[in-house]
């Protein structure tokens, strides 16, 4: 149970970074990979992934995770956020943890909603 709690803490730091627009405390491995919603290739390496998180954070308001499943060093998270253009979106994050740090992130959201604009 202690290892699971540490893993949840790592994931919590990731979501906290999105909410406070500060990725400096996210525990990342040196060769972390981030598979985002808008790029067919991953962002690689701790400095570039940290910078990417820092860049996207201001556009994702109130990022919250509602469900977390931990199996060893693999983590699945359902999450929701409101974007700066007023849209609410829900999706999933899949993480791989290595030595207590995030080694891989895969993000899945319906990106069409982000480009359609808010509908009243």
pLDDT tens digits for range 105-120: 999 987 776 666 655 5
pLDDT score for 4: 92
pLDDT score for 67: 94
Domains and CATH numbers, the chain: 2-110 (3.10.450.50)
Question: Residue 10: pLDDT band by 50, 70, 90 thresholds?
Answer: very high
Global confidence as pTM: 0.88
| pLDDT at residue 91 greater than cutoff 80 | yes
What DSSP element (H or E) covers 43?
strand 43-44
pLDDT tens digits for range 29-78: 999 999 988 778 999 999 999 999 999 888 888 888 889 999 999 999 99
Closest among 20, 24, 9 to 68, alpha carbons compared: 9
């Amino acid at each position: 149970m202690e290892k699971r709690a540490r893993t949840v803490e790592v994931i919590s730091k990731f979501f906290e970074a999105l909410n406070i627009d500060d990725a400096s405390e996210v525990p990342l491995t040196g060769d972390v990979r981030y598979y985002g919603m808008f790029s067919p290739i991953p962002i690689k390496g701790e400095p570039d992934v940290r910078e990417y998180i820092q860049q996207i954070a201001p556009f994702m308001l109130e990022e919250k995770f509602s469900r977390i499943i931990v199996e060893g060093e693999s983590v699945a998270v359902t999450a929701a956020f409101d974007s700066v253009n007023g849209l609410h979106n829900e999706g999933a994050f899949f993480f791989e943890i290595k030595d207590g740090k995030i080694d891989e992130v895969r993000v899945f959201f319906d990106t069409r909603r982000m480009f359609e604009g808010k509908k009243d």
